[in-house]
Structure 1
Amino acid sequence: MALLNILTAPDPRLKQKSTPVGTVTPEVRQLMDDMLETMYAAPGIGLAAPQVGVLKRVIVVDISPEPEKRAPLRMADPELIWVSDEDADFEEGCLSVPQHYSNVVRPAAIRVRYKDETNAERELEATGLLATCIQHEIDHLDGVLFIDHISALKRNIILRKLLKTKKSATSAAPVA
């Protein structure tokens, strides 16, 4: 397994759409494992392949608060097949939008169809934080960040701060 580099906004790769996996190959399984290791190290509760520069429809999720109770989900080609009419409002953050949070309204319950790491077709019903996390990660596969769900004013403030941080880090890098 390997730790992968997590892209941060406003990296243009985060706005691109991902392509379907089709079949979960050993390479896709390795990507899933590397993504989980990266997510846990960050630390985070979800990670999508585009966040590590891979434009494939792959996400990993684990909302377990304690390492000894981990219950990772590895999903290839996830698709929402049902969403509730009822909404839920959660404060969201993102590994690609570090240290910024905002409330986002999403469907409170979902049903998702996906292929697991063994290439088996699965369906999962989720509510609460798990439903929010899965929807957040699926958004990444379509080039959508959680800040795209908030006001343009707040989004632009966050993006300007991220760009300023990125420029500061680049200018502070030692010259070889």
Structure 2
Amino acid sequence: MILPIVAYGSPVLRAVAQEIGPDYSDLPKLIEDMWETMYASNGVGLAAPQINRSIRLFVIDSSQIFANQDEDEKGMYPDEPGMKGVFINPQVVGLNGEKWSYNEGCLSIPKIREDIYRNAEVRLKYQDETFTEHEHSFIGITARIILHEYDHLEGKLFIDHISLLKKKLIKKKLDDISKGKVKVDYKMAFQK
């Protein structure tokens, strides 16, 4: 089932999400719905707070970025061809590599994109959908998507990484989004 994406301005996007256990109600269905919602929204990652669930869960599929590359872009990123995964109760263990800029957007903040600097590598401890423990390093675009989605679990948004001047320049657009004055081709839920 395709779920509505929570829009900027909703308190759930600013809350620190709670850990879950294997007994979390109907988790396989929720993960399936998150995949369906992410793909229907043309996203490459989706965190549970974006569907109004304040739990430590996100899904990513960085292979979509590589599938849509132009021929001259192939081989530009070290993590090509990307990966697809479910991350439950993740913890950042370490950040490595130089910070690099990439133009990011967010399904909860449609029609706004900004250049964001993030580390080239992230080491993450997490559980998969069967609650099997993993500790793994991710690089490139995959690391960036993971860090973006991880921020959602910490109550942070990509716009928190931009300068005060840039925030002032996009304030009207952000206000419009929080009031539901934005048109997108996917389901959204707006704060009342």
Give the TM bin, normalised by the shorter chain: 0.7 to 0.9
Identity, % of aligned positions: 38
Name the CA distance, whole Å, in 2 between partners of 1:102 and 1:53.
24
Matched to 1:34, the amino acid is D
Three-state SS of the structure 1 residue aligned to 2:9 is coil
Name the CA distance, whole Å, in 1 between partners of 2:150 and 2:141.
14
Higher relative contact order (CA 8 A, sep 6+): 2
Q: How does 1:14-163 map to 2 (within 5 A)?
A: 14-23=13-22, 25=24, 27-65=26-64, 66=67, 71-163=83-175
Question: Shift of the alpha carbon at 1:70?
Answer: 8.8
Name the CA distance, whole Å, in 2 between partners of 1:133 and 1:152.
23
Name the CA distance, whole Å, in 2 between partners of 1:39 and 1:85.
29
Moved more, 26-35 or 13-22: 26-35
User: TM-score, structure 2 length as denominator?
Assistant: 0.79
Contact 1:24 1:76 in 2 (8 A): no
Three-state SS of the structure 1 residue aligned to 2:169 is helix
Moved more, 25-34 or 90-99: 25-34
Which position in structure 2 is the counterpart of 1:7?
Answer: 6
When residues 165 and 15 of structure 1 are mapped into structure 2, their CA distance, relative to the original with a 3 A threshold, is closer
Matched to 2:125, the amino acid is R
Contact 2:34 2:46 in 1 (8 A): yes
Matched to 2:132, the amino acid is A
Question: Shift of the alpha carbon at 1:84?
Answer: 0.3
User: TM-score, structure 1 length as denominator?
Assistant: 0.86
Question: Shift of the alpha carbon at 1:155?
Answer: 2.1
RMSD: 2.2
Name the CA distance, whole Å, in 2 between partners of 1:110 and 1:70.
15
Contact 2:59 2:87 in 1 (8 A): yes
Matched to 1:150, the amino acid is I
Deviation by residue 1:122-176 (Cα, 9 ceiling, x = unmatched): 1221111000000000000011000000012322433421322554649xxxxxx
Three-state SS of the structure 2 residue aligned to 1:51 is helix
Deviation by residue 1:90-141 (Cα, 9 ceiling, x = unmatched): 1111001111111111111111111101111112211110000000000000
Three-state SS of the structure 2 residue aligned to 1:37 is helix
Contact 1:82 1:112 in 2 (8 A): yes
Name the CA distance, whole Å, in 2 between partners of 1:86 and 1:24.
39
Name the CA distance, whole Å, in 2 between partners of 1:63 and 1:163.
30
Tell me the number of residue pairs that the alignment of Structure 1 and Structure 2 aligns: 168
When residues 82 and 158 of structure 1 are mapped into structure 2, their CA distance, relative to the original with a 3 A threshold, is same
Name the CA distance, whole Å, in 2 between partners of 1:168 and 1:14.
16
Question: Shift of the alpha carbon at 1:12?
Answer: 2.2
Gaps of 5+ in 1: 171-176
Name the CA distance, whole Å, in 1 between partners of 2:122 and 2:48.
21
